Copies of this chain bind each other. A is one copy, B any other.
Amino acid sequence: MPLGHNEGARPPSEKPLRPMTDILGHSSKGTDRMAGKAYADFIELVKEYYDVGYGQGWLQWDQEVMMPEGGAAERASQLATLAKVAHGMLTSDRMGSLLKELEGAPDLTPEEAANVREVKWMYDRAVKMPPELVKELTKHSSLAMQAWQKARKANRYKDFEPFLQHMIDLKCQQANAIGYEDVPYDALLDEYEPGARSRDVVKVFDSLQSRLTPIVKAIVDSDVKPDEGILTKAFPIDKQRDFGNWLVREIGYDYNCGRTDVSAHPFTTGSIQDVRFTTRFQERDIRPALFANIHEAGHAIYQQGIDPKNYGTPMGDSVSLGIHESQSRFWENVIGRSRPFWRCYYPDLKKAFPRQFRNVRLPDFYAAINLVRPSLIRVEADEVTYSLHIMLRFDIERKMVNGELCAKDVPEVWNEKMRQYLGITPPNDADGCMQDIHWSMGYQGYFPTYALGNIYAAQLTHKMERSVKGFWDLVERGEFKPIKGWLNRNIHSKGRLLRAEDLIKGLTGEGLNADHYIAYIKSKFGPIYDVRL
């Protein structure tokens, strides 16, 4: 019975199935335009590329959150294959020729042009990488992570040093393969913060560091000593979870398009209509349940705010790690550690933990959650010292990649900078230059995005205080819809229409600028520590 000539069969036609592209909001209209057909084909291919990427994402989420131990080897194989498939799609001849056809096409909308621009950027980075280098990097990062773990445990930097040096050499090869204008490091930074230049970042970071370090000193010298003990009593985990889950719903996290779970290291993953994050709980410390939770919810609210019709394209993706971090830090620090926020929610917290907070006044609670203390470990650092930890790492990794610093000299430089920035000296390398996993994984270029997040968050806050009517009153009333709405409209829903610098410039009238961050820190911590900053 030849296909299409099956006269007997009458396909029921009352309710035609909507094509998937329609369901997901992509329209293949506009084929009358010059670029119409090519653009539709391009989007189809791009969406497949993103589909596979999200597939990888969910397998990784499952690996961290759900997978039984025994599944590790099989999962590694599945992830490696999906990575290969995605890479093949991105670097395919078809993608190359579609991009060629579409680049500079005169009749693309700004959104379409952004999709082409961003995929071209991904494509270029991918095709420039020699397959042997990709393989060697994958292989070496696995080796280097193992070596790092062992060396850190034994506090023997010497054992890690050759692995770090080889990683740097490979990253240099990568930078050379990809190309750069100023310095090799830019080619790496560009992966995490597209379009950023270390030249500009250095300038802003330097001005930030020179102003932050005296602030830290003034706070350390202050007589005010917040009582951390308020936060480190026994808090039953299930109650922490209930409160934490409720709190992120309050600020606008949508459980219909996500879920929260527990993992050793909190993280957020997902697309737009399925964005999940994890958090962790400590029996004797309420802080992770509050702030790690709000931090991840901030990342998730960004993703959930993207326009679902742009799923599977750069317009349905986030701008950069720096902008992402600006969202998490805005909600965690600017909002979540603010006095108005806790004027609103402290009564609820007291209701959830009546015994623990019985005799604790709000000002003492507020001071305790804003404790500033120079410390050795980045992930435990407070809002004021955090960026200094980052700048130290940025300085070291940049100089290494640019050939100005060898692996063997890292501990000395690290310790010297710790003294200079934070006034403390690491007692050993395990809690010094070996504390982070990033360098062993080949994530050179990632660190600065954390501090960029702090800076952008302050710039956006400055703008919102002027654009969102009664900003802090809203916070104090727990009415976050206007604030989330502003972020949704001005950042989230824009996808990758603009690069970070242009996005911020368009919104605030200026590029990366640490002044607002400094002003924010001064106006917040001066009163807490009773010092003039």
Q: Report the Cα distance A259→B67, complex, angstroms.
A: 8
Q: Is A498 an interface residue (CB 8 A)?
A: no
Return chain B residues, CB-CB under 8 Å to A257: 68-71
- A300-327 contacts to B (CB < 8 Å): 308, 311-312
Return chain B residues, CB-CB under 8 Å to A82: 51-52, 55
- Partner pick for A311 among B1, B74, B162, CB 8 A cutoff: B74
Q: Are A68 and B274 in contact (CB under 8 A)?
A: yes
Q: Is A379 an interface residue (CB 8 A)?
A: no
| Known A20-B76, A20-B77, A24-B77; contact A143-B1, beta-carbon cutoff 8 A | no
- Partner pick for A3 among B17, B72, B133, B258, CB 8 A cutoff: B133
Q: Is A332 an interface residue (CB 8 A)?
A: no
Q: Is A11 an interface residue (CB 8 A)?
A: yes
Q: What's the nearest-Cβ distance from chain B to residue A465, in Å?
A: 32
Q: Is A424 an interface residue (CB 8 A)?
A: no
Q: Are A140 and B3 in contact (CB under 8 A)?
A: no
**Segment at the interface with B among A58-66, A187-195, A391-399, A451-459:** A58-66
Copies of this protein chain in the complex: 2
A177 and chain B: residue at smallest CB distance: B3
Q: Are B271 and A74 in contact (CB under 8 A)?
A: yes
Q: Is A163 an interface residue (CB 8 A)?
A: yes
Q: Report the Cα distance A6→B403, complex, angstroms.
A: 14
**Segment at the interface with B among A164-172, A352-360, A482-490:** A164-172
Q: Is A47 an interface residue (CB 8 A)?
A: yes
| Known A20-B80, A52-B81, A78-B54; contact A71-B273, beta-carbon cutoff 8 A | yes
Please, could you name 14 A-B residue pairs with CB atoms under 8 Å apart, sorted by A? Answer: A1-B173, A11-B166, A12-B147, A15-B146, A23-B76, A24-B73, A24-B77, A47-B81, A48-B84, A58-B78, A69-B256, A71-B257, A71-B274, A77-B312
Which residues does A use to contact B, with CB under 8 Å? 1, 3-4, 6, 8-12, 15, 17, 20, 23-24, 47-48, 51-52, 54-55, 58-59, 62, 66-78, 80-82, 84-85, 130, 132-133, 136, 139-140, 142-143, 146-147, 162-163, 165-166, 169-170, 172-173, 176-177, 254-259, 271-274, 276, 308, 311-312
